[in-house]
Amino acid sequence: MRNQVVYGQQTLDFRVRYLASINSKVLIHVQPDQQIIIDAPTGTGMQAIKQALLKRARWVSRQQSKLAQLHRHALPRQYVSGETHWYLGKRYLLKVKISKARQPGTKLQRGMLLVTTPEQNPALIKALLHKWYLTRAEVIFSQRLAVIYPELGWVTQKPAWQLRAMKKQWGSCSPKGKLSLNPLLVKAPRPCIDYVLVHELCHLKHHNHSVEFYMLLRSQLPAWEGIKERLDNLSEQILK
The reply to whether 205 and 95 lie within a common domain is: yes
Could you give the count of Cα atoms lying within 13 Å of 191 in the half-sphere of its Cβ?
Answer: 14
Q: Is residue 77 part of a domain?
A: no
Work out whether strand 84-87 and strand 171-173 pair parallel, antiparallel, or are unpaired: unpaired
The reply to whether 106 and 190 lie within a common domain is: yes
The reply to whether 91 and 151 lie within a common domain is: yes
Instruction: Determine contact, residues 115/95, Cβ cutoff 8 Å.
Output: yes
pLDDT tens digits, one per residue of 122-135? 999 999 999 999 99
Q: Is 56 exposed, middle or buried (0-12, 13-18, 19+ CB in 10 A)?
A: middle
Q: Which of the pair, 163 or 2, is modelled with greater confidence? A: 163
Q: Which of the pair, 29 or 87, is modelled with greater confidence? A: 87
**How far does Cα 86 stand from its chain's mean position?**
14
Q: What is the pLDDT of residue 17?
A: 84
Dihedral through CA 189, CA 191, CA 197, CA 201, nearest 10?
Answer: -170
pLDDT category, 149, cuts 50, 70, 90? very high
The reply to whether 96 and 188 lie within a common domain is: yes
Q: What is the pLDDT of residue 19?
A: 77
Could you give the count of Cα atoms lying within 13 Å of 3 in the half-sphere of its Cβ?
Answer: 17
The reply to whether 122 and 198 lie within a common domain is: yes
Q: Which of 72, 99, 114 is the last residue of a domain?
A: 72
Considering the chain, what is the average pLDDT of its residues? 90
The reply to whether 28 and 63 lie within a common domain is: yes
CB atoms within 10 A of CB 120: 12
Q: Rounded to whole angstroms, how far apart are CA atoms 106 and 127?
A: 10
Q: Is residue 171 part of a domain?
A: yes
The reply to whether 92 and 184 lie within a common domain is: yes
pLDDT tens digits, one per residue of 69-92? 766 555 678 899 999 999 999 999
Range with the poorest average pLDDT among 13-17, 75-79, 154-158, 201-205: 75-79
Q: Which of the pair, 228 or 144, is modelled with greater confidence? A: 144
Q: Which of the pair, 229 or 91, is modelled with greater confidence? A: 91
**By C-alpha distance, which of 187, 182, 185, 188 is closest to 166?**
182
**By C-alpha distance, which of 148, 152, 143, 228 is closest to 189?**
228
Q: Is the pLDDT of residue 1 over 60?
A: no
Number of domains in the chain: 2
**By C-alpha distance, which of 167, 106, 181, 169 is closest to 137?**
181
Amino acid at 24: S
Residue percentage of the chain with pLDDT more than 70: 94
Residue percentage of the chain with pLDDT more than 90: 63
The reply to whether 116 and 225 lie within a common domain is: yes
The reply to whether 52 and 111 lie within a common domain is: no
Q: Rounded to whole angstroms, how far apart are CA atoms 189 and 195?
A: 10
Q: Is the pLDDT of residue 20 over 80?
A: no
Q: Is the pLDDT of residue 101 over 80?
A: yes
Backbone region of residue 8 per phi and psi (left: phi > 0; alpha: psi in -120 to 50; beta: other values): left
Q: What is the mean pLDDT of residues 207-227?
A: 90
Q: What is the pLDDT of residue 160?
A: 95
Q: How far apart are the first and last CA of the chain?
A: 31
Q: What is the pLDDT of residue 209?
A: 84
Q: Is residue 182 part of a domain?
A: yes
- Domain extent at residue 174: 84-238
Backbone phi, then psi, for 73, in 5-degree steps? Answer: -95, 0
pLDDT category, 22, cuts 50, 70, 90? low
Instruction: Determine contact, residues 49/40, Cβ cutoff 8 Å.
Output: yes
Q: What is the mean pLDDT of residues 2-30?
A: 83
